[in-house]
Amino acid sequence: MDRSEMVEIVLDAVRIEMEAVAEPTNFSGDIDEATPLLGEGAPIDSLGLVSVIVQVEESLRCVDGIDVTLVDEKAMSQRNSPFRSVGALSTYAMECAAAAQQAV
């Protein structure tokens, strides 16, 4: 899997969550790699981020057969959260997927 495919998986997860939210957010415009997933300017709230992470894990497992856990001690201890933006999450998910495939 290349990076652009991973970015698409993350973007799809964010779009699914945005559609699932009953209350429309203040967010307007397109989402891309620079879109924040945390704090001000994010198109989803903290509960939405939980759903996005679960959805990305599910997509990796169902579509690519890669069993990853994105939230672990390593993720939580990073100076810059790997969940801060679509791009950061994509990069981190690539690292996790590569590690999971090596472990098999």
Partner 1 sequence: MSVEQEVVLITGTRKGIGKALVEHFVSRGALVEGCSRQQPDWELEGYHHHQADVLDEVQVRAMMRSISDRHGRLDVLVNNAGIASMNHSLLMPVETASRILETNVLGVFLVSREAARLMKRNKYGRIVNLGSVAAQLRIEGEAMYAASKSALLSFSQVFAREVAPYGITCNVVAPTPVETDLIKSVPQDKIDRLVAALAIKRLGTFDDVSNAVEFFASPRSDYITGQVLYLGGA
Min. distance of Cβ 34 from partner 1 in angstroms?
A: 27
Phi/psi of residue 70, nearest 5 degrees = -80, -30
CA distance 48 to 14: 8
Overall size of the chain counted in residues: 104
Shortest distance, position 54 Cβ to partner 1, whole Å: 6
46 is a site residue for partner 1 (CB under 8 A): no
Phi, psi dihedral angles at 71 (to 5 degrees): -100, 105
5/67 with CB nearer partner 1 = 67
Site for partner 1, rule CB under 8 A: 47, 51, 54, 58, 61, 67
